[in-house]
Amino acid sequence: MSDTFDVIVIGGGPAGYPAAIRAGQLGLKVACIDGWKNYDGSYAFGGTCLNAGCIPSKALLESSELVHRAEAEFATHGIKVGSVTVDIAAMQKRKAGIVKGMTQGILGLFKAAKVTALTGHGRLLADRRVEYTAVDGTVKTLSATHVVLASGSEPAALPSAPFDGVHIVDSWGALEFAAVPKRLGVIGAGVIGVELGSVWRRLGSEVTILEAMDTFLPMADQALAKEALKNFNKQGLNIRLGAKVSSAEASKSGVTVLYHDAAGEQTLEVDRLVVAIGRRPYTKDLLGDGTGVSLDARGFIVVDEHCHTPVENVWAVGDCVRGPMLAHKGKEEGVMVAERIAGHHAEVNYRAIPSVIYTAPEIAWVGQTEEEVKKSGRAYKVGSFPFLASGRARAMESTAGFCKVIAATDDDELLGVHVIGPMAGELIGEACLALEYSASTEDLQLTMHAHPTLSEALHEAALAADKKAIDFPNR
């Protein structure tokens, strides 16, 4: 193996591996270093997203939703299945197979792009040198013209509820349960908390989610958050807001959680406890002495709008830098950096980053919330369309939720799109494209949508912004 590269990427997750692949496609000599180690001792590229986050969680969400539909919905369709039994081992095996296929696929993509995959730990030294420690302990110093830091993030710990890996676990541990906990506690009602809570609730667990904040999903448009909370309560998720955990003590019989809410001190007894209070940048042993790369007060690597650190030819992308911790945001940053290294112009539109929560109903949004637009002082208009009025949603027995469009009153600029309902994560793609091209509601109004489709809800919401909706009364 050569010791010199055009680009060395430290981190093979959803920000790092796209950076390496795109740089390789552009004709650069590239190495990507990653040391992710799974519970079974195997090493894999793909980072948290492919190994312990996005992909395995979606696999379990899909499986558990099928269980719920079989139990609660099939009969409505005239399908009688009798008693439904769940084989958790088979479900976990399917999930593991999907994960393995995806992570091994990265190695195939590396080969196609002529990227050198190095399994082990990478540490940035001064003058764009990288100390590479292989899994067998061998240490080698590599050099590069450019170095891209993509070290990712890790679950944030809660001092009052320390992980023990058995009774009190992080989000990865919650994806590996071998049996359905009779009583499951979740600390944190954010994206990860409600997704994991949904999985195990559908499979039969009594789920209680404790959220310290008084507002549910504060990062989302509050019309969506209100609708989501209503649906989650119907599904049996016991979400307690304003619940601040003071301690969690594990024993052979389970976990005793003490928390305070408006009514005073409360006690919650559960069999398993998941701490899902968010994530923090992971930069452990990433930076040697004299690199010049700095961290901000929250532990993020300091970069500019193009993900360049103050050090010449040293870049950082993904969860270890500012902005939302989303795999697709990291991917776009990785590709942008590779393009810029190769001398091309490239940007990331941080105003058009979509967010998706893969519950049922799904929740997705892009652009500004109504609360943000109102705070800005800009005059705006809103159009909304319920899935109850969608023929396709009715045929699917998925009528919960709505599509909401926010636009400026003066020039009709589309400011934000918010969807809660069936396939919201897929529907938001059209809204992302619209924001990318600075579309107006009129542009959406004049775009023909196939019938019957779920995407008609976006069309009708855009029409409703000007009180021109056809399939629902204008208000």
Looking at the annotation, which residues are catalytic?
451
Place of tokens 């506690």: 185
Q: What is the rounded CA–CA span in Å between residue 443 and residue 278?
A: 37
**Long-range contacts from 422-427, C-beta under 8 angstroms, 24+ separation:** 422/361, 422/362, 422/387, 422/393, 422/396, 422/398, 422/454, 423/362, 423/454, 424/356, 424/361, 424/362, 424/363, 424/364, 425/356, 425/358, 425/362, 425/364, 427/364, 427/403, 427/454, 427/455, 427/457, 427/458
Are residues 32 and 16 in contact, defined by beta-carbon separation less than 8 angstroms? Answer: yes
With CA atoms as reference, report the closest residue to 210 among 231, 236, 184, 235: 184
Q: Which helix (H) or strand (E) holds 394?
A: helix 391-395
With CA atoms as reference, report the closest residue to 15 among 227, 233, 325: 325
On the 0-12 / 13-18 / 19+ scale of CB atoms within 10 A, 345 is: exposed
Distances (CA, A) of 63 to 168, 233, 313, 452: 24, 21, 45, 27
